[in-house]
Amino acid sequence: MCKPISNAAFKTFVADMTPEKQQEVVSRQLRVLPQMIMDEVAGPNKPKVIKFLESRLKQVRLMQSSLIANGKVV
């Protein structure tokens, strides 16, 4: 796995998208990240990777709640 972008850079990247694309990216991340975390836990244990994926999932959940609060959910 290549070095991923930081949560702040990811948030900025998504914020520059249209509301429809933002919702698409957030919902995709909410589907994919839990599976990625389970795969990492089941495989060779890499605590840094697991910690990063968990922090990204937390960030995406916050982004989802922000989209809902601002009425941008399609």
Which pLDDT score, from 0 to 100, does residue 46 have?
Answer: 86
Instruction: Name the pTM for this structure.
Output: 0.87
Which pLDDT score, from 0 to 100, does residue 13 have?
Answer: 95
pLDDT tens digits, one per residue of 12-37: 999 999 999 999 999 999 999 999 99
CA-to-CA separations, 64 to 16, 43, 54, 67, in angstroms, rounded: 15, 29, 15, 5
Dihedral sign computed on CA atoms, order 55, 27, 22, 63? negative
* Centroid of chain to Cα 41: 18
Contact of 23 with 67, CB cutoff 8 Å:
yes
